[in-house]
Structure 1
Amino acid sequence: MLRRTFLSLICILVLIWSVNAQSIDFKYATLAEAKDVSKVAEKLIFVDFYADWCGPCKAMENTVFTKAEVGAVFNNDFVNFKIDSEVEEGKKLVRHYGVQEFPTYLFVNSEGEVVHKIIGFQSVRNLLIEAGKAKRKFEGFVPIRRLDSVYENGNDDVDFLYEYLKRKSYEEGSQPKVLAKYLEVVPESELQTEKVLSLISENVTSVSSKGFYILAESLSRFMKLTESQQKYVLKGISNSKKLTFREAVENEDDELFDVLIDAVHATSYSRQAAFAEERQFRYDYAKLTRNFKHFKLIAQEEATQIMSRSLEYFEEHTKSTIEAFKNTAKEKGISESSGRYQMMLAGLENGAAKAASFQLNDFARGYYEMASDDMDFKNAIKWSAFAIKLDETAANWETYAFLLKKVGRTRDAKKAMKQAMKMAKKDNLETDTLKAAFKNIK
């Protein structure tokens, strides 16, 4: 019996040793240590960004990294380092390398520069193929600092700028200045090629740039572009508008915002779409910059439109939406008794009124925060009251109470805040903030 137990233990130890011998050996505790080894060995560092909650990460660890052929390649050809993305050091590296998905695998040189990158679960075959790509890239890899020096010395060769821009943006994000220089020298005949459009898409950051102008021009022949070209054009235009909007908000730059709106109308596929996009940009700009003039233009027009509608209008709108949903569900074979069906149906109940109520409350709240004129407050009180009529919620009652307090209707404001607390309790929401607000109504 003892002999059998001893033999079993020996087998288990041999099995453990065998698995460890086959697996990728992540033996370096820090990236700094891995860099030192990489420099001496002249090998790439294989960096595994993982997270404990990540299923594909665990699958890679248990079913791919343990394979003999994988261990042989990675232990021989790379310096292997893994980092938990949720510990402090891991968080720093995640930010530094812009990691957004897990698992992410980087092949970096001894300077920490990314030579190759792969994302997500990889089969044994795919992982070995990617490892081969990384090694081939490393053979002709020039450190980015050396390329920076060549660029700063005024090299304007079109092929150099193309490769430099690709590397620089890949490692450090968008490079609008380098893009501008590249577009000065690239032949006119190549501006609409997939090669150039992809570079513009990744590096354009302003609707005032030449890169954006090239993308906008591409829309006139959009249907003649390949699917990839179309993707790059739309992505670049969208990113440019978002980044221009962000800059306008950060600097509260009304002139830049007007330039953005012109770009919206120049690149939208229809007049209706242009006005819808303009409306959203104007509304967000007004709220983020607390620009009441912009906010009021939108709020007044849309609130008046909502207020002109009867309760029956919202009921009919909801009925038609539910009917359309039921027909679509039937066509797709979704059972009426399924949880998915019931959940979606419940979400549509009173949907039109709830949406209108939410919008009115948002307008009223904006007036409370930004307006200064009593007439504006009185209009907002009307909107707030109708919002409650459409959908009685704690948030709606709270806004109503704040507005009543603004115009000196203290007693009514207290009643409204009590109602807000009542609704919050009913919906199992936190009431401490409302209680504190009630005490401040004097």
Structure 2
Amino acid sequence: MKPIIYLLLFMLPAAVSGQEKGIQFRHFESWDQVLTQAKKEQKFIFVDVYTTWCVPCKMMSMEIFPREDVGTFMNKNFISIKVQMDSSKSDPPGIKQWYADAAKIKALYNIRNYPTLLYFDPAGNQVHRTVGQSGADEFIQNSADALDSNTQYLTMLKKANSGENLSPDFLKALTIGAWKASEREKSKFYARQYLSLVDDQQLLSEEGINFVTIHTERTTDPGFQFFLRNKQKIDSIKGEGTAFSTINWYMSKDVEDLVSINPTRPDWTKIYKDIKGRFPHYADELIIKRKIKYYTDRRDWAKVDRNVYLLIPEYGRMLTANELNGYAYNVFLNCNEVSYLKNALQWTSIMRSKEKDHSILFTRASLLYKLGRAKEAIGIIEQIIASSADQDLSGMEELLKMMQNGKKTWIEN
């Protein structure tokens, strides 16, 4: 019997590994052998390109690839293999055997990020790729896209380069494909084309707004003007404040560019004049907030204090609770001057009257404790714990013990 068993094992084109219900990753001696087997079986090829140090790669291997629904789809439609891109002395022989092919794959298919997931047709032509971690449903959909010539990213790219007139739907799909492949310049290029062909009404949905947000990076991109034109409509779909915070984010990048010209001594007058000329309704907020960050980094608490007070009259419009809470907590962590700690405590009173948020109460308790008002601080922490019985409060309980024992809850700089 033994000779027969050995013969059967020898005749197998590749061994199969993996969990029974998940993707069955097969082992081949070379890339050429994979291509030969794909032609023989007339199956597409899926390649998980990974490194041993890549955390998202490990998450895919532990949480997505072993799933039964993922395995059912992939095993039916693909020959699946793994290719390791880094190397170490402890690599097993099967990994070392692939070093040369791994180097060729990295160069030929421009592998820069991990995990990169490559898809090939049965003839060995790359037709699709995605980069990065995804959930199970998204991974299955991405893999299904690889089987259809209408949704294969590289097939669509060839069509786009052929000079054909492209429909808005095609350009949208191509933009998303380029984004998933981590080809940002291409996604930006095709997003511009798509946005030039559709009107605002076609974009005013949750999906449309998300698309514009993802594919807008700067104030010079067309998506920025879409947000300026449709602030109220966007807020009605995505929630109050969405348009403002998004617009603010794009404009803050322009401020950052100007600060970076001389980051140690910014010319605030010149920067303000530039931003005021382009965004007159937003310049005050943008510059004051950037000054707060600048002076916080330099621990100039007098100027931090002064600039925060310039913003407080705009609380609820230019200044959010999260922002003011962040300013107050930074003072707690890094400042020991009583006058500024007391002012930060006043900021939490402003928020407390309008917001019900444990993070604000936590900041208030921290400031009270640092100011020597331990009994009040402990009472607030006990209140937080009592109202959050269904949450993991181990960190909060440890903080309570530190306060009860008179220990510092901050690190001295």
TM-score by length of 1: 0.49
**Which residue is 1:135 aligned to?**
144
Partner of residue 440, structure 1: none
Match of 2:78 in 1: 78
Question: How many residues of Structure 1 are paired with residues of Structure 2 in the alignment?
Answer: 311
Q: Is it true that 1:313 corresponds to 2:339 in the alignment?
A: yes
Q: Distance in 2 between matches of 1:197 and 1:218?
A: 10
Distance 1:35 1:242 in 2: 50
Q: How far apart are 1:212 and its partner, in Å?
A: 0.8
Question: Is the 2:116–2:132 Cα contact (8 Å) retained in structure 1?
Answer: yes
For residues 389-422 of structure 1, what are the alpha-carbon distances to aligned partners after superposition, in whole Å with 9 as ceiling and x for unaligned?
xx6x5xxxxxxxxxxxxxxxxxxxxxxxxxxxxx
Q: Is the 8 A contact 2:191 2:215 kept in 1?
A: yes
Structure 1 equivalent of residue 46 of structure 2: 45
SS at match of 1:108: strand
CA apart distance, 1:348: 9.0
**Contact 2:218/2:253 (<8 A) preserved:** yes
What is residue 163 of structure 2 aligned with on the other side? 153
C-alpha contact 2:255 2:286 (8 A) present in aligned 1: no
Matches for 1:56-67 after TM superposition, within 5 Å = 57=58, 65=66
Cα distance change on mapping 1:119 and 1:263 into 2, 3 Å: farther
Deviation at residue 330 of structure 1 after TM alignment:
0.5
- Taking the aligned partners of 1:300 and 1:326, their CA distance within structure 2 comes to 26
1:197 and 2:223 aligned: no
In the other structure, the counterpart of 2:232 is 220
**Candidates 119, 141, 147, aligned match of 1:108:** 119
The amino acid of 2:172's aligned partner reads Y
Question: What percent identity do the matched residue pairs reach?
Answer: 9
Q: Cα offset for 1:226?
A: 3.4
Aligned to 1:379: none
- Following superposition, the deviation at residue 145 of structure 1 comes to 6.1
In structure 2, the residue matched to 1:207 is: 219
The structure that is helix-richer by fraction is: 1
| Structure 1 residues 59 and 257: CA distance shift in structure 2, 3 A | same
Task: Please state whether the residue corresponding to 2:147 is helix, strand or coil.
Answer: helix
* 2:119 alignment partner AA: V
Amino acid corresponding to residue 227 of structure 2 in structure 1: L
1:47–1:105 contact (8 Å) kept in structure 2: yes
The amino acid that maps onto 2:175 is L
Q: Select 2:196's aligned residue among 172, 184, 194.
A: 184
Shift in CA distance, 311/203, structure 1 to aligned 2, threshold 3 Å: closer
Q: Distance in 2 between matches of 1:46 and 1:241?
A: 40
CA contact (8 A) 2:295 2:304 kept: no
Query: Which residue in 1 is equivalent to 2:315?
Result: none
User: What does residue 318 of structure 2 align with?
Assistant: none
Instruction: Identify if the C-alpha distance between structure 1 residues 200 and 130 changes in structure 2 by more than 3 Å, giving closer, same or farther.
Output: closer
CA deviation map 1:305-360 (0-9, x unaligned)? 69xx9954357567525556423320124689943434688999486xx8xxxxxx
Say yes or no: does 1:328 pair with 2:337.
Answer: no
1:154-179 C-alpha deviation (Å, 9 max, x unpaired): 73532332222222233212533333
Contact 1:35 1:111 in 2 (8 A): no
Instruction: Write the mapping of 1:213-252 to structure 2, written as runs, cut at 5 A.
Output: 213-226=225-238, 237=247, 240-241=250-251, 244=254, 248=258
For residue 177 of structure 2, the aligned residue among 164, 167, 170 is 167
CA distance in 1, matches of 2:213, 2:395: 45
Quote the offset at 1:42 in angstroms.
Answer: 4.7
Amino acid paired to 2:177: R
Could you tell me which residue of structure 2 aligns to residue 119 of structure 1? Answer: 133
Shift of residue 119, structure 1, vs aligned partner: 3.5
Alignment RMSD (CA, Å): 5.7
Q: Distance in 1 between matches of 2:160 and 2:70?
A: 38
Distance 1:31 1:302, change over 3 A: farther
Letter in 2 for 1:167: G
Give the distance between the partners of 2:204 and 2:70, measured in 1 at CA: 42
Q: C-alpha deviations, 1:185-242, integer Å up to 9, x for none?
A: 2124324333432332222121133211212333334431135x986x5786466346
Distance 1:281 1:154, change over 3 A: farther
Gap change, CA 1:114 and 1:206, over 3 Å in 2 = same
For the residue of structure 2 that corresponds to 1:47, the secondary structure is strand
Checking the alignment, whether the CA contact within 8 Å between 1:57 and 1:121 is kept in structure 2 is: no
Tell me the distance in 1 between the aligned counterparts of 2:199 and 2:397: 59
Task: Measure how far apart 1:27 and its partner are.
Answer: 1.2
8 Å contact kept, 1:116–1:134: no
**Of the two, which has the highest radius of gyration?**
1
Q: Secondary structure at the match of 1:211?
A: helix
Residues 336 and 141 of structure 1: is their aligned pair in 2 closer, same or farther, counting only changes over 3 Å? closer
Q: Is the 8 A contact 2:128 2:153 kept in 1?
A: no
Measure, in 1, the Cα distance between the counterparts of 2:245 and 2:46: 32
C-alpha displacement of 1:78: 1.2
**For structure 1, which runs of at least 5 residues remain unmatched after alignment?**
1-16, 288-294, 355-390, 394-442
Shift of residue 261 of structure 1?
7.0
Q: 1:219 to 1:71 in 2, by over 3 A?
A: closer
Instruction: State the one-letter code of the partner of 1:106.
Output: L
- The residue aligned with 1:25 is 25
Q: CA deviation at 1:58?
A: 8.1
Distance in 1 (alpha carbons) for counterparts of 2:235 and 2:63: 47
Number of the residue aligned with 1:96: 111
Q: Distance in 2 between matches of 1:106 and 1:310?
A: 51
Structure 2, unaligned runs of 5 or more: 1-14, 89-101, 307-330, 346-365, 387-392
The answer on whether the counterparts of 1:50 and 1:84 sit within 8 Å (CA) in structure 2 is: yes
Q: One-letter code of the match for 2:381?
A: A
Shift of 1:130: 4.9
Distance apart, 1:49 and its partner CA: 3.9
What displacement does 1:28 show? 4.1
